[in-house]
Amino acid sequence: MNFEITFTPEQQEFQIRVRDWLKRNMPKGIEHPADPANLTRGGYEKQRELGHRLALEGWLYPTYPKEFGGGGLSPNEALIIEMELEKYDQILPPYYDSGGKLAAASIMVWGTQEQKSIFLPQILKGEVRTWQLLTEPEAGSDLANIQTTAIKNGNKYTVNGQKIYVGSSHGAEWSWMLANTDPGGKRHGNLSWFIVPMDLPGITWAPMDLIFAGNENGALSGFKNTVYFADVQIPTENLIGGENNGWQVADTHLEIEHGLMQGSLLGDHNLRRTLNACRKLKKRGNPLIADPSIQEILAELYIDSEVTRLFHIRIHWLRSSGQKISYQGPQAYLQMKRQALRAAKHTQDILGPYALVMDDKLSPEDGFIEVQQRGSIVAQHPGGTVEIQKLIMSRKLGLGKPSMKYGSKH
């Protein structure tokens, strides 16, 4: 049975068009550093420039409706754009923007027509980018325990509290957040979902020094900062989905985050780099890749990577055929998280200390492998831990407690 994705003749022609377009429009000198913390401001600006150029074609967020700035394209056509960008070590979007990847879906489902007309074009055309503000000191895996308050005062909400943003070191114009609009209310039914301009008075943030920052392009978990709200005034028109309905609004983008991304369809960069290192590095005069014991470990890495890719091919097929995605999303995400840790261990087994150095003279593959070692640890957290993925799967399968009937407007 053939599990590969195939393209129609029309889609193959589209792929040629995208390939030629990128040759003409890829900004010169666009950066892709091994450690995302080393991305310069100039490099980030080139990523935004590429985003603007893609948006003019409707390719920045290709599956969204044209009327809001998307391309109105199919999942296969979106995959083609990502495949061609991957040849330049870029992804879609080229910069971190959780608004387009996640929040725009919630606005599409829950926003009024006026809100869609105001917010979506700015996101989907790359005019703004947004950070995610969900996590708090007491609300991580237990997201419903949000303590940041948003109390209505006339035509505004007064927001006070503390968040951790998943974003970038180079700033963003907007954020999107869950806040508690009824502190005495019932869990899940006391939260509301807002779009927040980040230049509002009373918002301050401080960077967090972590083991890994996450990629500027959104891979893994992004940069982390603590964000403080002190009497911040958010207009009521920035409330999406109605007051105290935020859990349902969030459920829409959480469904996407829990395994519906398709990055793993594009191949395993870490495996490719490990293979390259094994071809270059020698042991007793022979390349590492000639060692039968190392070949066995590489085979395990390849099999694990293929399992992850096949899980995501299944999700892509379900999306393309208009079928409901249930446990398959968190199942793929769980496999991807576990694979990251196993890959890091196997890579250390093969390369030894070479897997842990960033020095240009010693590090294989320009330091990408060392970054993968740190990133594999961080990869266990974003979108919910391994245990959270198991819990979501069990609820989707009807095991344990009854599933909450949220997100009925998917």
Residue 217 pLDDT exceeds 60: no
Q: What is the pTM of this model?
A: 0.84
Residues 91 and 134 both lie in one domain: no
pLDDT in tens, 288-305: 999 999 999 999 999 999
Residues 386 and 329 both lie in one domain: yes
Residue 406 pLDDT exceeds 60: no
Residues 268 and 335 both lie in one domain: yes
Joined together, the tokens standing for residue 267 give: 């191949």
Other beta carbons within 10 angstroms of residue 232's beta carbon come to 22
Question: Hey, is 128 helix, strand or coil?
Answer: coil
Per-residue pLDDT, averaged over 265-281, amounts to: 87
- Based on the structure, what is the number of domains in the chain? 3
User: Is residue 360 very low, low, confident or very high in pLDDT (cuts 50, 70, 90)?
Assistant: low
User: Is residue 34 very low, low, confident or very high in pLDDT (cuts 50, 70, 90)?
Assistant: confident
Q: Please state the length of the chain.
A: 410
CA distance 121 to 333: 30
Longest dimension (CA), the chain: 76
Residues 90 and 154 both lie in one domain: no
The DSSP output letter for 139 is: B
Per-residue pLDDT, averaged over 252-276, amounts to: 76
Residue 373 pLDDT exceeds 50: yes
Does residue 70 sit within a domain? yes
- CATH number for the domain that contains residue 310: 1.20.140.10
CA distance 41 to 97: 16
How high is the mean pLDDT of the chain? 87
Residues 60 and 142 both lie in one domain: no
Report cis status (omega within 30 of 0) of the bond before 183: no
Question: What is the domain extent for residue 24?
Answer: 9-95
Residues 144 and 85 both lie in one domain: no
Which one is predicted more confidently, 138 or 22?
22
Residue 55 pLDDT exceeds 50: yes
- The span from the first CA to the last CA of the chain, in angstroms, equals 32
Residues 392 and 358 both lie in one domain: yes
Does residue 23 sit within a domain? yes
Beta bridge partners of 229: 161, 203
The DSSP output letter for 198 is: T
Other beta carbons within 10 angstroms of residue 155's beta carbon come to 9
> How many CA atoms within 13 Å lie on the side-chain side of 401?
5
Residues 225 and 262 both lie in one domain: no
| Percentage with pLDDT > 70 across the chain | 90
User: Is residue 263 very low, low, confident or very high in pLDDT (cuts 50, 70, 90)?
Assistant: low
Residues 372 and 265 both lie in one domain: yes
CA distances from 188 to 109, 175, 381 (A): 19, 21, 22
Among the candidates 199, 222, 249, a domain finishes at 249
Among the candidates 95, 114, 138, a domain finishes at 95
pLDDT in tens, 303-346: 999 999 999 899 888 888 888 888 888 898 899 889 999 999 99
Predicted local distance difference test score (pLDDT) of residue 401: 64
